[in-house]
Chains A and B, each alone.
Chain A
Amino acid sequence: MNAPSGSGSEAASEPAPLATASGPLGRAFRRHPTLFGMPALLVAFLALTVAIHPEFGSFDAQSLAMGALPLAMAAAAQAVVVLSGGIDLSVGSVMAVANVLAATTMHDGSFGESLLLSVAIIVAGAAVGAVNGLIVVWTRIPDVVVTLTTGFIWGGVALLILEKPGGGAPDDFLNLGTGTFMTDWLPNSLIMVVAVVVAIWVPVFRSRVALLLYAVGSDRTAAFRSGVNIARTRVLAYIVGGLFSAVGGLSLTMITGIGSPLAGVYYTLSGLAAIVIGGVSLTGGRGGMVGPVIASFVLTLIPTDLIFLNIDPNYGQVIQGTLIVLVVMVGGFFALKRSRA
């Protein structure tokens, strides 16, 4: 009785032209604003880049996709965990471990061996995620504390495995991240992003698991009372996160050609930045996977544009921070508009 009138007035007061559109499109827009907003933001940034740098070519497209690949994986890893109401500050360190493991073990191997090793590393990533999750669930120590400390530990392990940048992998393996497919305009790294997200997230999203993840992230008490096993769900989120982190580490090996024990660290916080821009609520339960992945491309474009403009790339941090604040503000503004309706 109350519901339809409520949503009706909401539609009427929404200022954006798309939102007043009736039918499934308008509805989808209202429910998942980032699904439309993020591609628009990316297109705007691409347009800006081409405007600054008219000779933007296939090579630039390749470096964009290569730069975004590990960040997209870090963002995906973080998104799953944050959606379920946790946070994983060990993403970067786990990526570093996967990176150096790959670079040291694959060094003299064949392409086939490197693929087998990749599978092993991905399984290890899931195990590492499970450990994070189990510690959080069993000890009831807050996620931030647990993953910060395990992050330190894995950071140390990465240094133990490979003291300074080195190692390598077969060319065919590197080509998975650096090459192109059919045309110069379709980088393998872009295909990798799509393929990995589809392979890991789609089965989750299409199943009951996603329902559990969102429920636990949104309201743990209500989920518990609905009969959800909270602990199992949270551990599962960390496991899926671990899968993404491991792939992220492997992709670092692909695009850099070596293992570097300190390269991963950067990705913990930029991954967080990407999910915030991509519309994932840090309190859990709200957001998706498309937003964070697209946001990682936007975040990769910023330093690129600054180089084209001959500006000190260190400003990238300043601009990135400003952008995050702006995006969150715009999102908050629309939420406020809706609640006043």
Chain B
Amino acid sequence: MSDTALLLEARDLAKRFDSVVALKAASLSVRAGEVHALMGANGAGKSTLVKILTGVFPADSGTIAIRGVNRSVGSPADARRSGIVSVYQDPALVPDLSVAQNMRLAKVPMEAVRERLSQLGIDDLDFDTFIRDLPYPTLRLIDLARALASEPDILLLDEITAALPADLSERVFQMVRRWREMGKSVIFISHRMAEVSALCDRATVLRDGSTVGVTDTTRGSEDRIVTLMLGAEVAAAETNALHQPAVQPIRPDGPSALEVRGLRYGHAVNDVSFRVNAGEVVGVAALEGQGQQELFDCLAGARRQDAGSILVAGRELDFRHPADAIRAGLVLVPANRMLALLQQRSIRENVALPAFRRPRAWGPIRMGAERRRVEDAVRRLQIDTRAESEVRRLSGGNQQKVVIARWLASGFKVLLCFDPTSGIDIGTKRQIYALVRELAATGASVLLFTSELPEIPLACDRAIVLFGGRIVGEIPASEADEVTLLRAAHGLSPRMQATP
């Protein structure tokens, strides 16, 4: 293909924030009618590149050409006029406005949005509903529909499938393919390698702020991409980990660490009972909105169940506040790291925070002891501490590690992980799952919900399946392949029907 067919060509973009270099020499060329993956580990500079392309902030140097003409993209509105529209990782919808008002705000024709939404499988959305009252996956689809309605030449999808249930992800993929058939281009950012090889034509790989390679994404290119992303040596180690699910024999008769009996919360959780033994990792498999959020909230003390009981180490407990759950040893790692961390404070303060909950910890802080404990946890989790003075400047993966480090430093019995790897790069994901296994090996228990079903056999001993607020199945890790889990999560029988 000749260069004239290039829809977008970004050359040698560089950007620094104070002393931190976010981009060194990022280049990206996108042909008309292709789905182009943008890959890179956390902190490689993907988000920065996306923000420059969509006019959130300008590059320090480098050029952006659209259809061969150099352009400066000064604002999102500017980018839109140039034909670049982005769906960001967090929905760009204003919570206190209705759906219709949000569309008017972006000057997008309402009918086109309605049409795109129905193509995405949402026919009955009331456009007068406030954005704040809608569930997250719906917001992502509305955001996508709005982006499509302005008929962009280049659609930028940043982690669109993160936290989307499998059925909705599939609809998004169909839409992306349709977009490509119309001769338009899509820049697709995802940490899920399977999606990339199934959907994308080519991939540009970033490492440490520079473009390190452009490659076709045919089947079997995964290893090459991982090598590019991580650098040769790290990649060798990672690929090994990739092919070695860390399943260990379960100890079914171990002491019970957490037991839930007949738990009910509104209509969301119905008569849920299960048990997590000491040293066991139990996965929770569920499509979006099957009650997993409410279940985890009840266990973490953020909501109070209507009926049923929670037993920790055999003792029935009544949580009125997350502090009660934490005291009992039930600690939460939420999907949204913003909710768990003090964004403007240092790693040290964030990790040490729960240690100050007891009155005897009041009074002067023993800085020496605190620093040792924090450093211990930071080292164990390999947290990148270059930007330690403010947690909000860390990458998503490192932020998630800080949340886990906090509980490591303060001690816990059961770690409640709610989609801990959403929006995290593949390398850090593996680290987090290896860590989960390591914790279990030392006798801690983990309850893990993940929206990425293939991860369940990698990290868990067994999985419970939630559907419509009830437990509809329990699957040992050895049988928990994606197909089985997906069928179960849809409320179908776990085993494949024999097909004639």
- Chain A interfacial positions (CB closer than 8 Å to B): 1-4, 6-7, 9-10, 31, 208, 211-212, 214-215, 217-219, 221-229, 285-286, 340-341
Contact = CB atoms under 8 A, between A and B. Distances in A.
Contacts of B56: 224-225
B321 to A, nearest CB: 15
A225 B138 contact: no
Given A211-B101, A227-B75, A227-B107, A7 B126 contact: yes
A226 B102 contact: yes
Contacts, number: 97
A84 to B, nearest CB: 12
Interface of B: 54, 56, 75-77, 80, 86, 88, 90-97, 101-102, 104-107, 121-126, 129-130, 133-135, 137-138, 266-267, 289
B135 A6 contact: yes
B76 A212 contact: no
B126 A4 contact: yes
Contact of B133 (A7, A221, A228, A340): A7
A10 B56 CA distance: 37
B96 A222 contact: no
Given A3-B125, A223-B105, A227-B106, A285 B96 contact: yes
B138 A212 contact: no
Contacts of A222: 91-95
Given A217-B96, A221-B92, A222-B95, A228 B267 contact: no
Contact of B122 (A1, A208, A285): A1
B163 to A, nearest CB: 14
Contacts of B88: 225
Contacts of B90: 221
A211 B80 CA distance: 20
A66 B450 CA distance: 62
A211 B104 contact: yes
B94 A1 contact: no
B97 A218 contact: yes
A211 B135 contact: no
Contacts of B267: 9
B61 to A, nearest CB: 24
B105 A7 contact: no
A218 B92 contact: no
Contact of A6 (B86, B97, B102, B133): B133
Given A6-B129, A7-B126, 18 more contacts: A2-B138, A3-B129, A4-B126, A7-B133, A10-B133, A211-B97, A214-B97, A215-B101, A217-B96, A218-B97, A219-B93, A224-B56, A225-B54, A225-B86, A225-B92, A229-B75, A285-B94, A341-B266
Contacts of A217: 96
